[in-house]
Amino acid sequence: MESYDEWTASQMSETVTVDGHGLEMAYRDEGKGDPLVFLHGIPTNSYLWAKITPEFEDEHRVIVPDMVGYGSSDMRDGFDRSIRAQELAVEDLLSELEVESCTFVGHDLGGGVGLRLAAHRPDLVERLVLSNAVAYDSWPVQFVTDMGLPSFPRENDPEEVRETLAETFRNGTHGEADEAFVEGMVAPWNSEEGVVSLSRAASATNTNHTTEIDPSGIEAETLLLWGAEDDFQPVEYAERLEEDVPESELVGLEEAYHWVIEDRPEAYREHLRTFLDG
């Protein structure tokens, strides 16, 4: 697996302006073939997928963005970081990259973006993979809500935020956490700008952005690839999605919490490949 520094180095020349506000969105774009798009959630970044995406670059064009306000993307203050805004930003990115249709893989908030895109742009999202995704009224969770309080950036310096997040990731993985994963998840927030950006992202979480979506109208063939022991986004929400999304299948991975991609990377790759192969 690449280190976080190696991962971000590959993004340095890969940014596009999105959303009509001059926001720079960083991304990786590797391989050739049918487009395969991966989107992270909060409080993560594109490095979440470092153990997954390289395995698919021989057969697919693999696009892995950082949402605006996250990772290597624009973190300056004064713009919307909500799921609605992220949906438009990703749509702009894919338009700039001349992607006409894709398989969209989303985790956490990235899954919420995927739900919205699949509902609003069935021409763009041919297949959909949701992993421990926000859906219906399943979110926001308390620790994210707390980070969105106005007092959060005033009362927490970057080192305190780094330590809090590191413990969240260590406690949220099954077994002993991979420290490279933990470091990659907390690194983008390790500055005053990062702390403010994280707080703005947390305050932008809004359950209305998924409750207004009708999953029964989603046309994309859908795989619900879920960490079955997640307390943040319980598997019951995946079961509800399986009932509502017409062409959907739930695969629950045992010994996996919210960060299912980190807990069960081999099984995750295997099930994703089976889905892609039809």
The pLDDT score that the predictor gives to residue 20 is 65
Predicted structure pTM score? 0.97
In whole angstroms, give the CA distance from residue 175 to residue 11: 31
Mean pLDDT of 98-123: 98
The pLDDT score that the predictor gives to residue 12 is 60
The owner of tokens 């049918």 is 34
Tens-place pLDDT, residues 213-266: 999 999 999 999 999 999 999 999 999 999 999 999 999 999 999 999 999 999
Where does the pLDDT of residue 1 fall: very low under 50, low under 70, confident under 90, or very high at 90 and above? Answer: confident
**Looking at domain 4-142+205-276, what is its CATH homologous superfamily?**
Alpha/Beta hydrolase fold, catalytic domain (3.40.50.1820)
The pLDDT score that the predictor gives to residue 90 is 97
Amino acid letter, residue 218: I
Token readout for 20 is: 């009509």
Tell me the percentage of the chain whose pLDDT exceeds 70: 98
Tell me the percentage of the chain whose pLDDT exceeds 90: 91
SS3 for 55-122 is HHCCCEEEEEECCCCCCCCCCCCCCCCCHHHHHHHHHHHHHHCCCCCEEEEEECHHHHHHHHHHHHCC
Contact 177, 261 (CB under 8 A): no
The pLDDT score that the predictor gives to residue 22 is 86
Tens-place pLDDT, residues 47-73: 999 999 999 999 999 999 999 999 999
Q: CA torsion sign, 251 to 257 to 258 to 261?
A: negative
Mean pLDDT of 182-187: 97
In whole angstroms, give the CA distance from residue 222 to residue 242: 9
